[in-house]
Amino acid sequence: MHDDTFTPCLGRMRGNAGESRYLSQVMKAAARAGKRGPAAGRRGSFEGSRIGRGASVARVLRSGDRLAGFRARRVIVKMRLVMLAGKGLGGARAHLGYIQRDGVTRAGEPGALYSEGRDAVDGKAFLERAGGDRHQFRFIVSAEDADQYPDLKPFVRRLMRQMEQDLGTRLDWVAVDHFNTGHPHTHVILRGRDDRGADLVIARDYISHGLRARGGHRQSRSRAAHRS
């Protein structure tokens, strides 16, 4: 298992053949819908990065203040989409156990699973809610100065609340903070359902740029408040 040793890989979600088929279906459906518009005749212009929730927010962040990236602290976000059909739920159970394993806290204790409103949550209950989900998102968030914070929960919770606003839906997620490497980071598991029970599809532009930009902005504000 190598979840704690990661290299930034932004803008592309890798997975198995099931994930590729799912994304291919979404892109084909959007392409068919796009034939009604004036851009239908331009071949090669569609590549799927703006399909799903958060696309418009990502465009605004990308076209906004071009110097913001230099002022904000760097935040690495690595996200993976995992299909849950077949043996996927068993893999989700194993992953949940792995991120809570012994030795990941500063004191060398097991990781504590938390959510938006609770510092200790039941992972089994989370998996039961996800029993009928088509997919889930797993991502790692690591800010460059995370080692200076005694607790990463406030930062992660602010980031997830901002993500809810950007995507226009409440999110069901759990997270564990890891301090067992030179770069403290947080593992987040997000259900692939929106608050109406439909499949949650997030635009690739938001994953590759929007969420990372939000994390840098939130981290800068949190750091400023911490100093005052």
Structural domain spans, the chain: 17-227
Q: Which pLDDT does position 36 carry in this prediction?
A: 41
Least reliable range by pLDDT among 65-69, 183-187, 192-196 = 65-69
Buried b (16+ CB within 10 A) or exposed e, 199-213: ebbbbbbbbbbbbbb
Cα separation values, 7 from 3, 4, 132, 183, Å:
10, 10, 31, 12
Q: Which pLDDT does position 20 carry in this prediction?
A: 56
Kindly state the tokens that stand for 182: 């030179």
Q: What is the pTM of this model?
A: 0.72
Model confidence over 49-83: pLDDT tens digits? Answer: 668 899 988 888 877 655 555 545 678 889 999 99
Classify residue 19 by burial, with Cβ atoms within 10 Å: 0-12, 13-18, 19+: middle
User: Is residue 186 pLDDT above 60, yes or no?
Assistant: yes
Q: Which pLDDT does position 145 carry in this prediction?
A: 79
Q: How far apart are the first and last CA of the chain?
A: 40
Model confidence over 91-100: pLDDT tens digits? Answer: 999 999 999 9
CATH of domain 17-227: 3.30.930
Q: Which pLDDT does position 93 carry in this prediction?
A: 94
> Any residues with CB less than 8 A from the CB of 170 and at least 6 apart, and which?
164, 194, 195
